[in-house]
Amino acid sequence: MRASSFMHRFRRSCFNPPSFEPRAILAILGFEALAVLLAGACISAPYHRPDVSIPPTFRGESSSSAGNAGSLGELHWQDLIHDEQLAKLIEEALSHNFDAQIAAARVLQAGAQLTIARAPLFPQVDVQASYVGSRLLAVDTGATNLSLSLGWQLDLWGQIRNLSVAARANLFANEEARRGVLQTVVSDVAAGYFLLGDFDLEREITRQALELREDSLALVKLRVDNGYSSELDLRQAEVLVESARTDLTNIELQIEQTEDQVDVLLGRNPGPIARGRSPLEQALPPKLAPGLPSALLDRRPDIREAEQQLIASHAQVAVAKAEYFPALALTSSAGFESSALHNLLSGASSVWSIGPAVAQPLFHAGSIRAGVRSAQALQEQALLSYESTVQQAFREVADALVASRKLADLRIQQEQLVESLRSAAELADLRYQGGVDSYLEYLDSERQLLDAQLLLVQIRRQEMTNFITLYVALGGGWQ
């Protein structure tokens, strides 16, 4: 009796589904929304930026600029680059650099992944059509089906919502990574351009030294022929000439290789790079304040990327915890089914079904717990990576600030040294021609002058390059 009564109620519920009033539907949806908020709050706590140790000022910052709210990193790179040719190269690199284009494509991919992650929040509608024919005992039969199905997984525990949060954070992280690539492109092009100018100036200095040494060699030959100098002086002059020629060839090699490196940044095939101002014409870096250390957290792309990855990992923990709870989905379908195609759309062929589906995990051999632990471990890694990135940012700024001060001091000292060595070389030349000093003393003073001139060029290039490094360390270069 109980079995027949149960089957009767089952048939009534399947073939005569209850009709819901609009108010009842709204009440159910309101209850579901409340359940989502309460369950989501239990599974996932709101994200808060972790506390990190922030120094009050940057190490190496001058007292005159400490506490200044303005920052070098807030400026656009075009406000700092006054060489028109370098500005053109940077613009070309930002448009054609392959790494920048790859980073942009990754942003588009992340945007598509966000759409995929958000899709389950909405009902899924599908249309199905089929025909099945069979033959049994010389009897042909067939069945035709045309139906429209609707499925909706209720996000009671915030699993889909947190998947969307993770996907959105991944999108923002890829956008910050793209900005970091642009930042690197700007700095690398500028550094390569300054290096080319350095090599150009070194080549010019070496050529001048070679001409002077060739003139000196001719003079030594004349003195040897007249018995005023020894054969040893001649051999030393020849060695000096060949050494300058070797240095010149090596510099020309480095110029072409550096041009090829810059061409890759520009998205070009290897070829010459046009120059603008020479290193001696380049304006020295302006003295601008680095700004507040706390501003790095919101300005540097690598720190912002690391934080977005931390947000994504935070949401993934909630996704993993939601696996403990039952999944509820609403499914329904309506359509027509008939053994004869001409009767498919008749009222007697209509079919429909509706009902909820609940799935509760019972035994998964610890895989759900392991999934939660794995997500928490990834979150811990993301947190440590964020803290490490912040710490590394402060170190890079401090290194660039101290280098800025010390390189300026070195440049002034080297300029004074070059002037002293130039006077000493001129005096040694006069003393040698007058027969007071040996040719070896003249060679030594001339070599010291050449080395000092080349070092001065390198220090000026390092000073310009370090200015770009400081600009990038403060979060500038991608605007």
**d(C-alpha 394, C-alpha 391), whole Å:** 5
Give strand ranges (E) for 339-376: 350-359
pLDDT value of position 133:
66
For tokens 């050449």, name the residue. Answer: 450
The span from the CA of 156 to the CA of 333, in Å, is 23
Kindly state the tokens that stand for 267.
């998205």
Looking at the domain covering 52-121+157-200+227-234+260-325+367-473, what would its CATH class be?
mainly alpha
SS3 357: strand
Question: Which of 106, 130, 62, 87 has its CA nearest to residue 401?
Answer: 62
Cβ neighbours of residue 109 closer than 8 Å, sequence gap 6 or more: 174
Tokens 């550094």 found at: 191
* Largest Cα–Cα separation, the chain: 139
pLDDT for the residue numbered 349: 65
Domain ranges, ordered by start, for the chain: 52-121+157-200+227-234+260-325+367-473, 122-154+327-359
| One pLDDT digit (tens) per residue for the chain, 479 residues | 444 443 444 344 333 434 444 444 344 444 444 444 444 445 667 888 888 888 888 887 765 554 444 578 788 888 888 888 999 999 999 999 999 999 999 999 999 999 999 988 888 888 887 767 666 666 666 677 777 788 888 888 888 899 999 999 999 999 999 999 999 999 999 999 999 999 998 899 899 888 888 888 888 888 788 877 778 888 888 888 899 899 999 999 999 999 999 999 999 999 999 998 877 777 766 777 888 888 888 889 999 999 999 999 999 999 999 888 888 888 887 766 766 555 656 656 667 778 788 888 888 888 989 999 999 999 999 999 999 999 999 999 999 999 988 998 999 999 999 999 999 888 888 887 777 777 677 777 888 888 898 899 889 889 888 988 998 898 886 55
C-alpha span between 404 and 217 (Å, rounded) = 42
d(CA 288, CA 435): 54
The CATH homologous superfamily to which domain 122-154+327-359 belongs is Outer membrane efflux proteins (OEP) (2.20.200.10)
Residue with tokens 């060489």: 83
**What pLDDT, on a 0 to 100 scale, did the predictor assign at position 230?**
78
The distance from CA 96 to its chain's CA centroid, rounded to whole angstroms, is 16
CB neighbourhood size of 47 (10 A): 14
